Structure 1
C-alpha cells in the first residue's frame, strides 16, 4: 500500500503541468514589489545631498528595510506552511504602498526609518507566498519556474539606478510618490493571483498520514544521518547566501559612490554601473534555473560564486569603460544561482516551502542588511576604496559549496 501511494505521488508529479500564465503574472508582481523596495537605495544619493546623511546612516536605512523583511519572512513562511494565506500577497503590497507615501513625504531621518519598516513588512508578507505560488505553478520545471519568479524580482531591483537617474534625481524625494501607481498595479495583479491560489488550496485533498510503528535500527541510523546532513546543508547554504548578499549590498549601495570618487563622473552616470550589474544579474537569474535543471543545482551554485570571484577582484583596478563590461559579467554569473539556491533548499526540506523560502530569500538574503551597516561603517572608517576591495573578495567564500551534498545525494536521502 505504501509503495503504491509513493508510485502514484511520483506519477502525479511527473504529469504536473507548468502553469506559465500564473508564473508570468507572479513574476511581474515580484518585479513591481522589488522595484518598490529598490526605491530606498535609489534615494540614497538624494537623501545624502538633501539631509546630509552619513554612510553609516544610509547603511542603517538599508538595515531597517532588509532586516524587517528577513526576520519576519521565516515566521510568515512557517505560518503559511500550516495555513496557506492567499490574500497575504495583496495585503503585503498595500503595506508597501503606505511605506512609499511616508518615504516621499518624510521630513527627517527617523520618519524615513519608519517608512522603510512598512516596506520591509510588505516584502516579508509577499515573498514566502510568492515562492509558494511559483512552486505550485511549476509542474516538473521547478528550476525554470523559480527563475521566472526570481528574475522578476531581480529586474525590479535593476530598475533602481534608472529610477534614481530619471525620476528621483530630477524630482527629488517627492518623486517617490509616482511609485504609488506601481504599488496599486501590484495589488491588482496579486488579487488575481490570490484568487487562483485559493482555488488550488480548495482543490487539494488532505494527504493521508502513514505511521510506521516499527523501524529497524538501520533505518533509524539512516534517518538520523540524513537529518544531520540536512541541518548542516541548510546552515551552510544560509551562510553562502549571506556572503553573496554582503557582496550584493556592497555593489548596489556603495559602488556608485566609488565610481563618483574614482572616475570623477556625475551621480546619474554612476547609477548606470548599478543598472548594468543588476540587469545582467536578472538575465543570469533567468538562465540559472534551466541550467540547474540540466546540470545540477549544486554545480550552478558553485560556479556562480567561484566563477565570479576572479573577475570581481579585478573590478576596482580597471578603467571606467572596461568596468561596464566587467560588472555586467560579474552580475550575470553571481546572480545565476539566485533562484537555484531556493529550489535546492526546497528539495533539501520538502513540504516546508514557506519556511525554506523565508530562510533563503528572507533571512539569509536579508542578513545581508547587516553587511550594509558594516560596509557603511567600514567606508567611514577605512575609506571607500578599501571597502570595495574587501567587498570584491567575498565571492571566494564560494569554495565552501563543495561541502554541500550533490543533487543525487539529496534525492537519495528522500527516497
Structure 2
C-alpha cells in the first residue's frame, strides 16, 4: 500500500501542471509590468521634475538593488521554510509603491515608493520560481520559460505604457497600475492554495530521495561554475539595462524622434526578448542548457557591435534579433544554476534572477553617470562589447557532467 502511494506521488511530481504555470506566468507579467512603469516614466520624470541622468540611474538602482539583495535571502529562508502566502503579500507591497509613485511630489518620495515595489518583487520572484519548479514535472526548461516569459512580457509593456498612458496622463497615470497589482493579488491567492498543498506532497516524496553530497573537488568545480554564471549575467544585465533605460534617449538624439516614437525601439527589443525567453527553455531541454547559454551571448555579439553605427530602420531590425538571442538564455541560466545545487531552488533562483536585477541596478547608475560624462553615443559604443563575454561559457561544465555529479 505504501509503495503504491509513493509511486502515485512520484507520478504526480513528474507531471507538468500547465494551468498553474500559465497562471504564475500571468502573475509574473503583471508583477513585472509594475516594474516596467518605472523606467517607462524616465522621460516623463526628467521633464516634470528636472531629474538628471544620474538621478534616473539612482531610481533604477533603488528598484533593482532592493529586489536583488532581498531575493537570495528570501530564497534561502523559503528553501527551509516555504511561505506560500508570501506571494500575495509581496504584490500588496508593490501596490502601495505604485500608489506612492503616482502621487510623489519629489525625487526622495519616488525613491521610497520604488523601494516598496522592489520589496514586492524580491518576495515574488524566488517564490514564483519555486511554483514553476513544483509544476514543471520533467520539463524544467519549458516550465521556467513559461514563468520567465511572463516577466519579460511585462517588461516589454514599458514602451506601450509610456506611449498610451504616461505621455497623455503624466506621472499620475501610474495610479491605474494599482488595479493591475490588485488583480495579481487575486490570482496569487489561488496559486498560494495550490502551492501550500503541493509543498506537503513534495516534502513527503523528498524524504525518500538521497541527494549525493559533493566532494571537495566537485565543490570547487561548482563554485567556479557559479562565478562564470555571475560574469555571464553581468554581461547580459548591463547590456539590457543600457538598452531598456537609455536607448530611447539615444534614438531621440540620433534620429530626431518624439518620446512616443522612440518607444518603438525599446518595445521591439523587449518583446523579442520575451519571445526568445520562451523558446530558450524548450531548446535547452533538447540541445542542452550550456549550448543555449553559449549561443545566446555569442550570436548577438557582432550585431551589438554594429548597432550604434546604422540608421533608424536598420536599428529596429537589429534590436529585434539581439533581444531574441540575448534573452533566450534567461530562464535557462536559472535552471542550470538550480541543477548545479539541487535542493536550493529558491536560493539559486533568487541568486541568478536577483543578480540580474542587481547588476542591472549598478549598470543603470554607472551608465547614467557615463552618459552625463561622455555622452550617449560613446556609451552605446562602449556597451556594445559586452556580449563578447559570452566566450566564458566554454568554462562551464556540460549538462552531462553536472548530471553525473549527482548520479
Alignment TM class, shorter chain as reference: over 0.9
Residues 14 and 291 (structure 1), Cα distance of their counterparts in 2 relative to 1, 3 Å cut: farther
1:281 to 273, 284, 295: 273
Q: Which residue is equivalent to 1:382?
A: 374
Instruction: Write out per-residue CA displacement over residues 370-404 of structure 1, whole angstroms, 9 at most, x where no aligned residue.
Output: 00000000000011100111111110111101000
TM-score (norm 2): 0.95
Which segment drifts farther, 226-235 or 98-107? 226-235
Q: Which residue is equivalent to 1:136?
A: 134
Instruction: Write out per-residue CA displacement over residues 148-183 of structure 1, whole angstroms, 9 at most, x where no aligned residue.
Output: 000000000000010001100110000000101100
Check conservation: 1:28, 1:152, Cα contact below 8 A. yes
Check conservation: 1:238, 1:359, Cα contact below 8 A. no
Q: Which residue is equivalent to 1:261?
A: 253
Q: Which residue is equivalent to 1:65?
A: 63
Q: CA deviation at 1:205?
A: 4.2
2:113 to 99, 112, 115: 115
Q: Which residue is equivalent to 1:103?
A: 101
What is the alpha-carbon root mean square deviation over aligned residues?
1.9
**2:355 is equivalent to residue 357 of structure 1:** no
Counterpart CA distance in 1 for 2:54 and 2:203 is 52
Q: Which residue is equivalent to 2:34?
A: 36
Check conservation: 1:13, 1:140, Cα contact below 8 A. no
Query: Which consecutive residues of structure 2, in runs of 5 or more, have no partner in the other structure?
Result: none
Query: Which consecutive residues of structure 1, in runs of 5 or more, have no partner in the other structure?
Result: 213-218
Instruction: Write out per-residue CA displacement over residues 101-133 of structure 1, whole angstroms, 9 at most, x where no aligned residue.
Output: 000000000000000000000000000000000
SS in 1 for 2:136: coil
Q: 1:298-317 counterparts in 2 under 5 A?
A: 298-317=290-309
1:74 to 72, 75, 85: 72
**2:371 is equivalent to residue 373 of structure 1:** no
Residues 13 and 364 (structure 1), Cα distance of their counterparts in 2 relative to 1, 3 Å cut: farther
Instruction: Write out per-residue CA displacement over residues 187-242 of structure 1, whole angstroms, 9 at most, x where no aligned residue.
Output: 00100100100111233444448999xxxxxx99x711111111111121122112
Check conservation: 1:239, 1:364, Cα contact below 8 A. no
Counterpart CA distance in 1 for 2:357 and 2:61 is 12
Check conservation: 1:241, 1:365, Cα contact below 8 A. no
Counterpart CA distance in 2 for 1:34 and 1:205 is 30
Q: Which residue is equivalent to 1:54?
A: 52
SS in 2 for 1:270: helix
Counterpart CA distance in 1 for 2:234 and 2:227 is 10
Q: Which residue is equivalent to 1:401?
A: 393
Check conservation: 2:13, 2:202, Cα contact below 8 A. no
2:43 to 31, 42, 45: 45
